[in-house]
Amino acid sequence: MIDLPTDLPADIVPLSWLLGVWEGTGVIDHEVGGTHVTGEFAHRVSFSHDGGDYVNYAASAWLLGEGEARTPLVAETGYWRLARPADEFDAGPALLPPLAARETRRTADDVEALRSAEGGFELEVAIVHSDGISELYLGQVRGPRIDLATDAIVRPSGAKAYTAATRMYGLVDGHLLWAWDIAALGGTLASHASARLARAE
């Protein structure tokens, strides 16, 4: 059973089952350029909120070696939010303040109006990797399952080739399961990594 906070902004309630810190291990299993890369990694993921209409995301991973050996892998940070048109009550772009003051907080009815025909909520997820790569994912949350696919990837000139990705997250028996497929280093979209994480104490 998961205890959900009762004071959440209405816009993040559909994502509330993610909130907290999750830790566990996963497996990399990816073929690239005729080389099969496999290995086990430790993974720590944090989903938090600071009162805004979005969820903060941070993740770190370490390739596990013999004994206590750990090789750091790319870390990530980002924001997850329900897709909706910005209005005069929203701040931005940049540091621009809202054009009008909202008299009341957004409500559950406001969020329910965003529900898709499939019964879920459209998502926008922005993730930046520690190697400078930025991803914009679009997708949907339906209950305790999230499916995402990249809409855009921006790479610095020195970054390795990376052109597309999909991610799936699900809550199964109290564990956060996820899978990540990528198209990278000249390859097509293929299985990359998956993990099973438990909520940290």
DSSP for residue 133: -
The rounded distance, in Å, linking the Cα atoms of 25 and 193 is 11
Token readout for 20 is 């907290």
Task: Return the CATH architecture of domain 10-199.
Answer: Beta Barrel (2.40)
Residue 28: its pLDDT value, please? 95
Cis omega before residue 93 (within 30°)?
yes
| Residue 122 CA: distances (Å) to CA of 19, 94, 147, 174 | 18, 23, 10, 24
Residue 6: its pLDDT value, please? 59
The rounded distance, in Å, linking the Cα atoms of 128 and 134 is 4
Residue 1: its pLDDT value, please? 43
Where the chain has pLDDT below 50, the residues are 1-2, 4
